[in-house]
Amino acid sequence: MFSGGPGSRMSMASVDTTMQAFDMEKQKILSQLADIFNRQNYLLVASRALMGFGAPLHRLEANLVAIAINLDVAATFAVLPGIILITFGDEDTRTSETYVVRMTPGYDMHRLERTNRTIRRVLKGRISVGKGVKEIERILATPPLYPWWAMIMDYVVCSFFICPLFWSGSWRDAAISAMLGLIVGLLQLTAGRFANYANLFEVSSAFIVSFIAALLQDYVCFGTVSFSGIAMLLPGLALTTSIIEMASRNMITGTVRFIFAMCRCFMLGYGISVGSTLGTRVLGRSTSVDLLADQMSSTSGLGNCNDGVNKYWWFLFLPVLSLSFNMSISAHWRQWPIMLIAGCLAYTVSYFSALSEALAPLAPAIAAFAMGLFANGMATFSNHRSAIEPILGGVQLLVPGSLGLRTVLAFITSSGNSSGNFLYDMFSTSLSIAVGLFLSGMVVFPNRKKRVGLMTF
């Protein structure tokens, strides 16, 4: 039988053409799906990096929404401390898929700047989404900027210079505080290597510092040395950011952070109480409650510490202390100048504002406003694309971490009036800083393009 005429050949050609069109359509759909999954993966890794490196949580949700809109991804976000819930929706199938991104919040200004730069390059189309994913994953895998010995020395430097600058300590107080800071730094290194000890780190550090300070109470100012020795552990930044988050109506994140900061204050206060009790009893003297009450009676020097260093030394102490704080949040040396200027500006404005009786209650707000104007202005009109780094560099010199601890110590010593005053001062200082930063953001908007996130406080 004869077959394979012209009609048959035309039918086969039509089938081949249909199959080719089907394959092309299939490849197109697969390519579109791969592109969608790639953009979703980009949002997942970007959210991990932003939370882990210190992006403000009260603006993180808005920043992620701005990135998703720019990438044309249908996504909703719910930001909680340590967790981001990301839901990707499909309007065609009316289905959704939720991912849980877990990341321990921390501060790493160098890697945050690199992440922010990568995000902007992707949003501006300078690099592809896939390359952006690889770069952010590479940033996440980058080891810490400073080695362990540098971080230990940072504890020493911070304790030495903060003693005369913040608590009117003498040279002897500063030297003992530096030695105690070295002990705390070594304990921090131990806590990072042994998980079982990490839960006792704050209590044991405060206990050892206060015990040694109580033994040396005849030679040093107990309150000044105790606070300076654990200066790097004071949760002042956490207290302030929690108030900022609650003031911006992010109640869950703000409340959780505030409770954690106060719990840390109680752990430090408990360690100081027990250490001072044991130290004074070793000397055969009265209980440490009397000693603590004496230290709490002063609002400036934390005791009879009237032999502070000459204030001309502050011109040297302030920049070095600011650099020490910058190292504690892993700022790169290229970020130091702008963070140093912001820190010195905040402290100077706060100091001179407090000299006036009329401006003293507003000193933290005025300082935060001036610092915010500088940081947002630099982010707007220069190559510094983020205002977070300089703001954190200045906020660390304004935060009321010691007030939180003094509140706890006042409760321990049953000084009800003192505890109430310190608690009010802590809240008012934090709220003043929040108001100043919010006002500065209204006056100078740190980003003139609405398609990208607002990387500021």
* Residues facing 80 on adjacent strands: 83
Residue-level pLDDT at 1: 45
Question: 58: pLDDT confidence band, cut at 50, 70 and 90?
Answer: confident
Instruction: Please give the structure tokens belonging to residue 286.
Output: 């009265």
Report the alpha-carbon angle 264-265-269, nearest 5: 120
pTM summary value: 0.85
Strand (E) or helix (H) holding 99: strand 95-102
Question: 27: pLDDT confidence band, cut at 50, 70 and 90?
Answer: low
Instruction: Please give the structure tokens belonging to residue 430.
Output: 């934090």
Q: Are 123 and 452 in contact (CB under 8 A)?
A: yes
Q: Are 268 and 234 in contact (CB under 8 A)?
A: yes
Tens of pLDDT, residues 355-413? 888 888 888 889 999 998 998 888 877 654 678 888 888 888 887 555 556 666 665 55
Taking each helix axis from N to C terminus, what angle separates 171-193 and 222-229, rounded to the nearest 10 degrees?
Answer: 40
CA 122 to CA 112: how far, in whole Å? 15
343-360 in b/e form (b: 16+ CB < 10 A) is bbbbbebbeebbeeeeee
The whole-number average pLDDT for the span 74-81 is: 88
Residue with tokens 């400036």: 300
* Residues facing 147 on adjacent strands: none
Residue-level pLDDT at 148: 92
Q: Which long-range contacts (CB under 8 A, 24 or more apart) does 125-132 make?
A: 129/35, 129/38, 129/39, 129/42, 129/71, 130/38, 132/42, 132/46
Q: Are 331 and 393 in contact (CB under 8 A)?
A: yes
CA 152 to CA 158: how far, in whole Å? 10
Residue of 61, 107, 147 whose CA lies nearest to 389: 107
Phi-psi region of 72 (alpha: psi -120 to 50; beta: other; left: phi over 0): left
Tens of pLDDT, residues 218-265? 888 888 888 889 989 888 888 888 888 888 888 888 888 888 888 888
Annotate 160-213 with three-state secondary structure. HHHHHHHHCCCHHHHHHHHHHHHHHHHHHHHHHHCHHHHCCHHHHHHHHHHHHH
Which backbone phi and psi does 415 adopt, to 5 degrees? Answer: -95, 85
Question: 440: pLDDT confidence band, cut at 50, 70 and 90?
Answer: confident
Residue-level pLDDT at 356: 83
Q: Is the pLDDT of residue 183 over 90?
A: yes
Residue-level pLDDT at 449: 52
CA 336 to CA 255: how far, in whole Å? 31
